[in-house]
């Protein structure tokens, strides 16, 4: 079942994130408080996939009124290749469409072969015409990568 994510899903989603090899988690943004803040700003467009009574997939989805963005798209390794990821993306994009958002973007780490193959397979276009820049405002927001 694909449904809208709520803060009550945090423990299940965070547990899933911790299982995904190479997944980057930020100490502030991905804390319960950080996710609660994100969901309050974007209450209807993040999604989870639930199966066998547990969360097996999730997408944080937000927008700024102009462009949507997908974050932390993942499916538990034991549930992959069953259409769950694509169904979650469709649900999030339908929710963005309801909010009159016309374009959606995401970032996939270059070493994320599984993720990059997924995005290419479902019709997303890799941009080669721009550079992506970051500026860190909160140096306490450290990214740690899962090594499993």
> What pLDDT is attached to residue 22?
78
What are 34-43's pLDDT values in tens digits? 999 999 999 9
The token pair at 70 is 């997908």
DSSP SS3 for 28: coil
Asked if 81 and 74 count as a contact pair (C-beta separation under 8 A), the reply is: no
pLDDT digits (tens, 9 = 90+) for 1-16: 999 999 999 999 999 9
Q: Which of 113, 120, 98 is nearest to 47 (CA)?
A: 98
113: containing domain: 2-145
Q: How many CB atoms lie within 10 A of CB 119?
A: 18
Domains: count for the chain: 1
Q: Provide the pLDDT for residue 143.
A: 67
For residues 122 and 112, what is the distance between their CA atoms, to the nearest angstrom?
A: 16
Q: Which range has highest mean pLDDT (61-70, 112-121, 123-132)?
A: 61-70
What CATH number is attached to the domain comprising 6?
A: 3.40.630.30
């Amino acid at each position: 079942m694909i449904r809208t994510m709520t803060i009550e899903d945090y423990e299940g989603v965070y547990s899933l994130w911790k299982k995904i090899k190479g997944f980057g988690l930020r100490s502030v943004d991905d804390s319960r408080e950080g996710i609660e803040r994100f969901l309050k700003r974007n209450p209807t467009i993040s999604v989870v996939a639930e199966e066998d009574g547990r969360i097996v997939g999730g997408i944080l989805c937000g927008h700024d009124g102009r462009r949507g963005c997908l974050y932390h798209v993942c499916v538990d390794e034991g549930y992959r290749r069953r259409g769950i990821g694509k169904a979650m993306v469709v649900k999030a994009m339908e929710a963005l469409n309801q909010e009159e958002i016309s374009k959606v973007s995401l970032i996939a780490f270059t070493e994320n072969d599984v993720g990059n193959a997924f995005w290419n397979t479902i019709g997303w276009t890799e941009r080669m015409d721009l550079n992506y820049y970051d500026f860190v405002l909160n140096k306490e927001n450290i990214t740690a990568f899962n090594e499993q």
